[in-house]
Amino acid sequence: MTVAAAKIWLKDGREKSLRRKHPWVFSGSIQRVDDAPAPGATVEIVASTGEFLALAAFSPESQIRARVWTFDRNEHIDAAWFRTRLARAIESRRKLGMLDPSGACRLVFAESDGLPGLIVDRYGDYLVCQFLSAGADAWRTVIVDSLLGLCSPRGVFERSEGGARHKEGLASERRTLTGDPPPAELEIEANGVRQVVDIAGGQKTGAYLDQQRNRWRVAAYASGAEMLDAFAYTGGFSFACLHRGAARAALIDSSADALRLAERDAVRNGVADRCRFVVASVGDELRRLKESGQRYDLVVLDPPKFVHSAEQINAGSRGYKDINRVGLQLVREGGVLATFSCSGHVDAALFQKIVAGAALDSGRTAQILERLSQPP
């Protein structure tokens, strides 16, 4: 028996973004929802004329009221469909050479992989899932079963947490879903550097995989450098740079837990005597270092998201400018600042303006060496 999907009727003219394959339906563009679908249920999105636009997952609690699974009316959203999408995501990582068994990578990146609300990170033999939308949450069993079939992991852990889940009306979940619980200190390795990941207790899914490649790009400037790794977390930038010949690294983070793991990694990588660990607020510590006359050949600034919504763009921009101004003042003549933002609301052009403004205010002359980004 086939059950017809409930329908969401859009207001006149509000179908344009879907025609351009934008995968979200905002509450304001909806005329009417038929049949009171359950959270996560598959719904048919139709234009005001009744024309089919997409099959989507219903999120009754969120302003993003539906997230598109497919624009193809011939597809059926079922277990086989999820397996196909997951296999496609994993295959693309294989082609990119990202499936080294002792390494880590983001296997599934939500909307980017046509699987809205679903993150799957792989750390060696373990998978970590985030079900961040009602749709991803509703299909969790099917998704985990498919992942077991496709990757044969030792264990699958869930870290469904954070603001996105809250906006979907879903509670946070942190637990082993199947197989072995992850070890408290899971070791992964990339480019000869060993890194301990705490899947259950660390930030996000355990590590910041989005910076993996950038650590090696920055390490290209590290030979002989005295470096400052601000917002270090477990020291990914420091260990890549020390591996490439940096002389010394000072790691600053407000999280004592993160720096405890960093200390373990320093020992594992044989560089403990070249590291200094400072549990402190970066803003305070940068100012203190500046006043004490300390300078570095390489300064890394990798802060958490400062801008969470459009309303925060001005305040967040001031925050970025502030740390970049002091960061630049800490760079020795001829040295390098590697500076990052992970705020989606701050685009590359705005970020460049902010850093350029910081350079002006700091009285430093700077040139742009390269622009870095997320890995593929």
The residues annotated as belonging to the active site are 342
Dihedrals phi, psi of 169, to nearest 5 degrees: 75, 25
Tokens encoding 369:
């060496």
**Residue 150 burial (10 A CB sphere; 0-12, 13-18, 19+):** middle
- Of 208 and 221, nearer to ligand SAH (C-beta) is 208
When binding is defined by CB under 6 A, the residue of 17, 178, 254, 312 that contacts ligand SAH is 254
- Of 245 and 304, nearer to ligand SAH (C-beta) is 304
When binding is defined by CB under 6 A, the residue of 302, 330, 336, 339 that contacts ligand SAH is 302
- Is residue 286 a contact point for ligand SAH (CB under 6 A)? no
- Is residue 306 a contact point for ligand SAH (CB under 6 A)? no
- Is residue 307 a contact point for ligand SAH (CB under 6 A)? no
CA separation for the pair 196, 184 (Å, rounded): 9
Q: What angle do CA 325, 328, 332 make, to 5 degrees?
A: 155
The set of residues, in sequence order, having a beta carbon less than 8 Å from that of 373 and lying 6+ positions away, is: none
- Is residue 233 a contact point for ligand SAH (CB under 6 A)? yes
When binding is defined by CB under 6 A, the residue of 116, 236, 319, 327 that contacts ligand SAH is 236
- Of 133 and 205, nearer to ligand SAH (C-beta) is 205
When binding is defined by CB under 6 A, the residue of 191, 255, 312, 374 that contacts ligand SAH is 255
When binding is defined by CB under 6 A, the residue of 82, 109, 208, 216 that contacts ligand SAH is 208
- Of 149 and 304, nearer to ligand SAH (C-beta) is 304
Tell me how many residues contact ligand SAH (CB under 6 A).
Answer: 18
Spell out the alpha helix ranges (H) of the chain. Answer: 16-19, 79-95, 134-138, 140-151, 163-167, 212-219, 236-243, 256-268, 282-291, 313-329, 348-362
- Is residue 232 a contact point for ligand SAH (CB under 6 A)? yes
When binding is defined by CB under 6 A, the residue of 130, 211, 339, 343 that contacts ligand SAH is 211
- Of 180 and 284, nearer to ligand SAH (C-beta) is 284
In this structure, the dihedral spanned by the alpha carbons of residues 200, 231, 341 and 199, taken in order and rounded to 10 degrees, is -10
DSSP of 124-180 = TTEEEEEE-SHHHHHTHHHHHHHHHHHH--SEEEEEE-SHHHHHTT---EEEEEEES
- Is residue 253 a contact point for ligand SAH (CB under 6 A)? yes
Site residues (vs ligand SAH, CB under 6 A): 203, 208, 211, 231-234, 236-237, 252-255, 258, 281-282, 302, 304
